[in-house]
């Protein structure tokens, strides 16, 4: 079987913390099996790239998910996952001068298009 690669497109953070947690949890589980994957953050999801923001998300509907901040830290520190931030979302979400998390960089939507040409996608 050919090695699969994925891009997770994450649209949510504070607005739907369960969706964000579910995406991060699934990604961590997949990385544990050495699956190559990265995230493209868009809409409210871009807020996860702001350093310290994930720690402010404390409410999740379902018990059993690890906190978003812990999942994010695991993906970055243990698995080296990259987080691409939609360039069009930077200004509307006030990230122009924000310090970003490790492994995060701003990229245009065309970069997402490139990723989609070579990877399967999972959208949350």
Q: What is the pLDDT of residue 60?
A: 64
The DSSP secondary structure of 27-53, one letter per residue, reads HHHHHTTT-EEEEEE-GGGGGGGBTTT
Give residue-wise pLDDT tens across range 79-98.
Answer: 999 999 999 999 999 999 99
CB atoms within 10 A of CB 65: 17
The Cα–Cα gap between 113 and 69 comes to: 28
Give residue-wise pLDDT tens across range 54-75.
Answer: 999 987 666 667 899 999 999 9
Beta-carbon contacts of residue 113 (< 8 Å; ≥ 6 apart):
none
pTM here?
0.93
* CATH of region 5-123, choose from 3.40.1260.10, 1.10.40.60, 3.20.20.100, 1.10.3720.10: 3.40.1260.10
The Cα–Cα gap between 14 and 36 comes to: 26
């Amino acid at each position: 079987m050919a090695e699969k690669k994925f891009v997770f497109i994450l649209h949510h953070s504070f607005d739907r913390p369960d969706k964000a947690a579910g995406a991060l949890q699934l990604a961590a589980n997949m990385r544990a099996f050495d699956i190559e994957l990265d995230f493209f953050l868009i809409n409210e999801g871009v807020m996860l790239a702001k350093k310290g923001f994930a720690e402010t998300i404390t409410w999740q509907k379902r018990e059993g998910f690890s906190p978003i901040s812990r999942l994010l830290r695991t993906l970055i520190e243990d698995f080296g996952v990259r987080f691409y931030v939609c360039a069009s979302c930077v200004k509307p979400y006030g990230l122009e001068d924000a310090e970003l998390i490790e492994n995060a960089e701003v990229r245009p939507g065309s970069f997402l298009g490139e990723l989609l040409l070579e990877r399967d996608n999972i959208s949350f």
